[in-house]
C-alpha cells in the first residue's frame, strides 16, 4: 500500500490496522510489505551440490539461508518445522 503523500511503501499489516509505518522489506513467502514490528528473519537449511562421494550429490551448507518473513508466515513455518525463527528485524 502506498501513502498518498510520500510515495514510499508502507507495512501492509499496519495499514490494515489504520496506521502508516514505512516497510523495511517484503515477506519472502506471501510478498506482503512488512515493518520491523511485523516481520523477522528466519533460517532455512541450504544444500549445495557436491562432487559426489558418501552422502549423495548434495551436502548441507555450513550456514543456513536467511530470509525475511511476515509474522503470519513465520508462525506457520515454525509450526510446520520448516524453518527456525532467528530474531526480529533490527536496523
Q: Is the confidence at residue 87, as pLDDT, over 90?
A: no
pTM for this model (two decimals): 0.64
Contacts 24+ apart (CB under 8 A), 19-24: 24/89, 24/91
pLDDT in tens, 49-60: 766 666 567 777
What's the gap between Cα 59 and its chain centre? 24
pLDDT in tens, 5-43: 567 899 999 999 999 999 999 998 899 999 989 988 877
Q: Measured between alpha carbons, how far is residue 46 from residues 11, 37, 66, 73 in Å?
A: 29, 27, 10, 19
CA separation for the pair 55, 62 (Å, rounded): 15
By the 8 A CB rule, do 38 and 70 touch? yes
Amino acid at each position: 500500500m502506498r501513502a498518498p503523500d510520500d510515495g514510499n511503501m508502507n507495512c501492509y499489516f499496519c495499514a490494515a490496522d489504520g496506521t502508516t509505518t514505512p516497510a523495511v522489506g517484503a515477506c519472502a513467502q506471501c510478498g506482503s510489505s512488512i515493518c520491523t514490528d511485523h516481520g523477522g528473519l528466519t533460517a532455512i537449511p541450504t544444500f549445495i551440490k557436491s562432487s559426489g562421494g558418501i552422502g549423495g550429490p548434495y551436502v548441507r551448507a555450513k550456514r543456513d539461508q536467511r530470509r525475511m518473513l511476515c509474522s503470519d508466515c513465520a508462525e506457520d513455518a515454525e509450526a510446520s518445522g520448516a524453518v527456525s525463527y532467528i530474531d526480529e528485524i533490527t536496523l
